[in-house]
Structure 1
Amino acid sequence: MSPWRFVTAFGTVSLLMDFVYEGARSITGPLLASLGASALVVGVVTGAGEAAALGLRLVSGPLADRTRHFWAWTISGYALTAATVPLLGVTGLLWLACALVIAERVGKAVRSPAKDTLLSHATAAVGRGRGFAVHEALDQIGALLGPLTVAGILALTHDDYTPALGVLAIPGVAALALLVWLRGRVPDPIAYETGAANAPATREPGRLPRAFWVYGGFTATTMAGFATFGVLSFHLVERHLLATAAVPLVYAAAMAADALAALATGWLYDKIGARTLIALPLLSAAVPLLAFTNTPGLTILGAVLWGSAVGVQESTLRAVVADLVPSTRRATAYGIFAGILGGATLAGGALTGALYDYSIPTLIVTVTAIQAGAIALLWLGNRSPARHHWTVP
């Protein structure tokens, strides 16, 4: 199988699985609110879910590198997510719904370092930025279809969450079947990668490059000032700006913007390197300025910008890691990088949720200041004109 076919097949797996969990995530805020959650609870739970999805990779990443069973980790993680999502629709207890939201994200933690490592081998042959971007774009087709399906079922059933989430079991089973087939066709994707595609090895074997840690500092800063969609959707429903059934449509629009932003920044990354990432703090700063107004059109535009920022996070951020770290340490690097992301995402979810309850103008000023700091770190850490190079000042 050619590298591009592998990338697109893996992207199709992600398409199907995003149909599952993005369909569920599109209504997490309203679902939790219907069970009695406040904005702070929504912010903390969705932030904690992302923290679990990212922070637990500190364990799964090194274990994947140590065992070299990348396919087993990938399949297990997808299976956990596929089993968890339909259960979310049948619980009537807030604490159980919160636990299921977090459990679904644990499945992502189990699979992601191994999955990204498998994908990084194929992208070495087709271009890091483009390969991860195409995968992300396919991924977001599922992220578009899932919320649209959920929105349609909610409209037909008068906001009944049980069938809306139950139907998501179908693409979950299909994704697992395709993944098992792909593993049989390409049992060892490292064959795609050549020595020329690897980042330079570190001076100290077993340690990650210093540039990786500088890059992690920039990423942590920008994500600490990034709101979760749970808080955005909470605002839309609680301020009566949109009906509950319309919220997944907004999320679908955000996911379409995600795909376009991933393709654009992935292409640009292959041209000019990590300086492309300046788009991330700029988008993140603009989100609360628009999304937390009381004008429906502006809040929708803010959600679209939120989706564009997620597109950069899910594609170009991962591509940079693959270029900074040799393949033998890549799953570990992805796990540590995700841990950094997780802590920052939890902080961002809790911070924006708490500030939303306290004062929206304070939220906007705080996020803007954080993103200004991220831009400063980006400038300091990436002054070299060398392509694909993150330098230490």
Structure 2
Amino acid sequence: MYLADRSAPAGAKTARQNAPDGGPVRAPAVASAVLALGTVSLITDVSSEMVTAVLPLYLVAGLGLSPLGFGALDGVYNGVSALVQLTGGHLADRVRNHKLIAGIGYGLSALCKPLLLLAHSLGPVGVVLALERTGKGLRTAPRDALISLSTPAELQGRAFGVHRAMDTTGALLGPLAAFFILNTAVGGYDAVFGVSACVAVLGVVVLILFVPSGAGLGPPGPDVGTSPRPAAAQPDSPKPAAVNLREAVALLRLPRLRALALCATLLGLTTVSDAFLYLLLQDRTGIREQWFPLLPLGTAAVFLLLAVPAGALADRIGRRTVFLAGHALLLAGYGLLLWAPHQPALPYLVLVLHGLFYAATDGVLPAAVAATVPAKLRATGIALVGTGQALARFGCSLAFGAAWTLWGAGPALAGAAAGLCCCAAVAGFVLRPAAPDTGPEPARHPRGTR
């Protein structure tokens, strides 16, 4: 079973198109729609990561939550978006306008940021975070579908890598902004939440003005690599039939998609959330509170540098190999936290491994899903796998918070590491290479069996 088939669909093997004079013209390797979406994600991530960088400390040190309470809230933060992803993906495919659904999601997240200024206890904070994650769940699948539908199949790893690199630039700038605001502005956390709200609104404005509409997008063909065009620009083309729920459910009959969903869910069950990882680093190394917002910078910097190379490598050698290697690197980070807590270089090494994990998995997984589902159900397919993964991480946050409260940080992390090792072995077996399918599809190139 492949993690992804690297062969392109018929008619999409090349990124060339004909110029008006009949000569060949090379289309850009990264579509303008991908760059526009990357800009929106960059701005939005500055806003989101400003909050994410201070939220663990704000809740644990400021509001006095226990690790179990924080685990429940962190589970809500991740789990709600999972439940909404399916709705967002199916709606985007059904209305045939991915930009519209993504815009609603970005807008809802932006509206929730100012509400954090009014929430000062677990209940209200949980409600606000649930609404904010609802916005994230709505936008994720339509956004990734726009990226895949704007890019030829053989370059999708690179395209997702470019988008994730731009997204991570925002993740790099957000904690820096939070750090400077906390140290210079009056009001501390409230100042961070207020500035975050303003930045989020800017991201919505950029989406409205610069991201092409997703209506009428079809599978990549000879004109891939260019900006997607609205259906109105092609009056002679038949309007695609609306996607119904039965077609969406039928996606689960695809063996490769089922394998991806199973493996993403299994590995998500043992992937400790970023917030807990940073709390573990502080707990085991004694990092001062004022430096805590800078911890995500290490992850973001490595992710930013390696997202594009990792995506290109996955296109070249196979997404299965890169995806599983990323989880092996995360396991190494867990090991360092367990057995080398007093090493001065520990925070740097763990953050580097954490960033490598994201570079090897975050863009590779949706690129793999995009290769297994038809274009008209692209957002739904991405949402199915993303939902399984996010729900699993929701469960992991709850379980890890409870284990930390009952047994301590060390045993909780040891359990997560053992689970990750077992789940990675299962995923390696499920996603093992197999002989190319025989049937009505064109024969695959031998290199695609890697």
Q: What is the TM-score normalised by the length of structure 1?
A: 0.88
- 1:10 is aligned, of 21, 31, 37, to 37
> What is the CA-CA distance between 1:259 and the residue it aligns to?
2.1
Matches within 5 A, 1:71-220: 71-124=99-152, 127-157=155-185, 160-183=188-211, 185-186=212-213, 188=215, 190=217, 193-194=220-221, 207-208=250-251, 209-220=254-265
> What is the CA-CA distance between 1:291 and the residue it aligns to?
4.0
**What secondary structure does 2:272 align onto?**
coil
Task: Write out the 4+ residue segments of structure 1 that deviate beyond 6 Å after TM superposition.
Answer: none
- 1:281 is aligned, of 305, 316, 327, to 327
Tell me, in whole angstroms, the C-alpha distance in 2 between the residues paired with 1:326 and 1:192: 8
Q: Compared with structure 1, are the counterparts of its residues 306 and 355 closer, same or farther at alpha carbon in structure 2 (3 Å cutoff)?
A: farther
The 8 Å contact of residues 123 and 132 in structure 1, kept in 2 or not, is answered as: no
Moved more, 251-260 or 6-15: 251-260
Moved more, 32-41 or 225-234: 225-234
Q: Compared with structure 1, are the counterparts of its residues 86 and 237 closer, same or farther at alpha carbon in structure 2 (3 Å cutoff)?
A: farther
> What is the CA-CA distance between 1:365 and the residue it aligns to?
3.3
> What is the CA-CA distance between 1:157 and the residue it aligns to?
3.7
Tell me, in whole angstroms, the C-alpha distance in 2 between the residues paired with 1:59 and 1:103: 14
Q: Compared with structure 1, are the counterparts of its residues 375 and 280 closer, same or farther at alpha carbon in structure 2 (3 Å cutoff)?
A: farther
The 8 Å contact of residues 52 and 109 in structure 1, kept in 2 or not, is answered as: yes
The 8 Å contact of residues 123 and 131 in structure 1, kept in 2 or not, is answered as: yes
The 8 Å contact of residues 112 and 131 in structure 2, kept in 1 or not, is answered as: yes
The 8 Å contact of residues 91 and 101 in structure 2, kept in 1 or not, is answered as: no
- 1:225 is aligned, of 270, 277, 295, to 270
Aligned to 2:432: 382
Aligned to 1:62: 90
> What is the CA-CA distance between 1:6 and the residue it aligns to?
1.9
- 1:356 is aligned, of 378, 381, 404, to 404
> What is the CA-CA distance between 1:98 and the residue it aligns to?
2.4
The 8 Å contact of residues 258 and 310 in structure 1, kept in 2 or not, is answered as: yes
The 8 Å contact of residues 324 and 389 in structure 1, kept in 2 or not, is answered as: no
Letter in 2 for 1:278: L
Q: Compared with structure 1, are the counterparts of its residues 5 and 165 closer, same or farther at alpha carbon in structure 2 (3 Å cutoff)?
A: same
Aligned to 1:326: 374
Identity level (%) = 27
The 8 Å contact of residues 291 and 303 in structure 1, kept in 2 or not, is answered as: no
The 8 Å contact of residues 216 and 337 in structure 1, kept in 2 or not, is answered as: yes
Q: Compared with structure 1, are the counterparts of its residues 164 and 335 closer, same or farther at alpha carbon in structure 2 (3 Å cutoff)?
A: same
Question: When you count helix as a share of all residues, which structure comes out higher?
Answer: 1
Tell me, in whole angstroms, the C-alpha distance in 1 between the residues paired with 2:146 and 2:368: 15
Tell me, in whole angstroms, the C-alpha distance in 2 between the residues paired with 1:371 and 1:152: 36
Q: What is the TM-score normalised by the length of structure 2?
A: 0.78
CA deviation profile, 1:114-142 (whole Å, cap 9, x unmatched): 11111111122671100000000011111
> What is the CA-CA distance between 1:106 and the residue it aligns to?
1.2
CA deviation profile, 1:48-99 (whole Å, cap 9, x unmatched): 2111122321222122212223111111100111121233244222221222
Letter in 2 for 1:365: A
CA deviation profile, 1:272-297 (whole Å, cap 9, x unmatched): 12221112321221232234635564
The answer on 1:19 being equivalent to 2:46 is yes
The 8 Å contact of residues 263 and 427 in structure 2, kept in 1 or not, is answered as: yes
Letter in 2 for 1:271: R
Count the aligned residue pairs: 383
- 1:346 is aligned, of 394, 399, 424, to 394
Letter in 1 for 2:277: L
Letter in 2 for 1:28: L
> What is the CA-CA distance between 1:252 and the residue it aligns to?
1.5
Q: Compared with structure 1, are the counterparts of its residues 48 and 141 closer, same or farther at alpha carbon in structure 2 (3 Å cutoff)?
A: same
- RMSD across aligned positions (CA): 2.7
Aligned to 2:295: 250
Aligned to 1:335: 383
Q: Compared with structure 1, are the counterparts of its residues 159 and 355 closer, same or farther at alpha carbon in structure 2 (3 Å cutoff)?
A: farther
Q: Compared with structure 1, are the counterparts of its residues 286 and 101 closer, same or farther at alpha carbon in structure 2 (3 Å cutoff)?
A: farther
CA deviation profile, 1:341-379 (whole Å, cap 9, x unmatched): 122111221222223331444334322332223233223
Moved more, 374-383 or 339-348: 374-383
Aligned to 1:265: 310
Q: Compared with structure 1, are the counterparts of its residues 143 and 189 closer, same or farther at alpha carbon in structure 2 (3 Å cutoff)?
A: farther
Q: Compared with structure 1, are the counterparts of its residues 159 and 230 closer, same or farther at alpha carbon in structure 2 (3 Å cutoff)?
A: farther
Tell me, in whole angstroms, the C-alpha distance in 1 between the residues paired with 2:115 and 2:74: 17
Tell me, in whole angstroms, the C-alpha distance in 1 between the residues paired with 2:391 and 2:192: 31
Q: Which runs of 5+ in 2 are unaligned?
A: 1-26, 225-245, 436-445
- 1:306 is aligned, of 354, 357, 360, to 354
Q: Which runs of 5+ in 1 are unaligned?
A: 198-203
The answer on 1:372 being equivalent to 2:400 is no
Please identify the structure whose Cα radius of gyration is greater: 2
> What is the CA-CA distance between 1:205 and the residue it aligns to?
6.4
Tell me, in whole angstroms, the C-alpha distance in 2 between the residues paired with 1:196 and 1:276: 29
Tell me, in whole angstroms, the C-alpha distance in 2 between the residues paired with 1:378 and 1:4: 33
> What is the CA-CA distance between 1:264 and the residue it aligns to?
2.8
